[in-house]
Amino acid sequence: MTNNKTYSPKATDITHNWWVVDATDVPLGRLASEVAKMIRGKHKPVFAPHVDCGDFVIVVNAEKVAVTSGKSQEKIYYRHSGFPGGLKSESFEALRARRPEAIIERAVKGMLPKNRLGRKLGRKLKAYAGPDHPHAAQKPQPLTLDIRKVES
């Protein structure tokens, strides 16, 4: 009889890399699912669902992310202030004009766990509207996604 034990990664076993992704003409949902996978660490062989073993992801050109069909006019984002009558709604185009990085942040946040670990992982996403980011000191590597881009 063998005494095999389940491997659980420790904090010292995990390295957190930095990746940069260009969101130009990439469908929003496909981009968000790939980014969420990288943030969770599911691409690593030491993945464990209860441990933060993921990487940091920088998304640039968030204002150029694509949505299919007529979602740019039909998609509505809701938020609530917590007070009676405090429900606010905003269309995709209005949110893109006001704060384009929020579109990607909300899409990725919806694909992360809804617990303490998910909130911690959500802070590993850095989204920027334009092509510049302040994380050059971390030496991020470009991440190429195998996603068919939308022609606009």
Closest CA to 126 of 141, 107, 143, 105: 105
Kindly state whether residue 90 falls inside one of the protein's structural domains.
no
Kindly state whether residue 72 falls inside one of the protein's structural domains.
no
103-144 pLDDT per residue, tens = 999 999 999 999 999 999 999 999 999 999 999 999 999 999
Domain count, the chain: 1
Distance between CA 111 and CA 33 in Å, rounded? 7
Kindly state whether residue 150 falls inside one of the protein's structural domains.
no
Span 48-65, average pLDDT: 96
Kindly state whether residue 22 falls inside one of the protein's structural domains.
yes
Kindly state whether residue 115 falls inside one of the protein's structural domains.
yes
Kindly state whether residue 62 falls inside one of the protein's structural domains.
yes
Measured from the Cβ of residue 61, the count of other Cβ atoms closer than 10 Å reads: 19
Q: Is the pLDDT of residue 148 over 80?
A: no
Look up the domain containing 32 and give its range: 16-67+99-142
Q: Is the pLDDT of residue 150 over 80?
A: no
Residue 112 is encoded by which pair of tokens?
């992360």
Kindly state whether residue 133 falls inside one of the protein's structural domains.
yes
Measured from the Cβ of residue 40, the count of other Cβ atoms closer than 10 Å reads: 23
pTM for the model stands at: 0.91
3-state secondary structure at position 150: coil
pLDDT of residue 147: 80
What Rg do the C-alpha atoms of the chain give, in angstroms? 18
Measured from the Cβ of residue 75, the count of other Cβ atoms closer than 10 Å reads: 15
Contact indicator for 88, 78 with CB cutoff of 8 Å:
yes
CATH number where 119 lies? 3.90.1180.10
Question: Taking all residues of the chain, what is their mean pLDDT, rounded to a whole number?
Answer: 94
Kindly state whether residue 46 falls inside one of the protein's structural domains.
yes
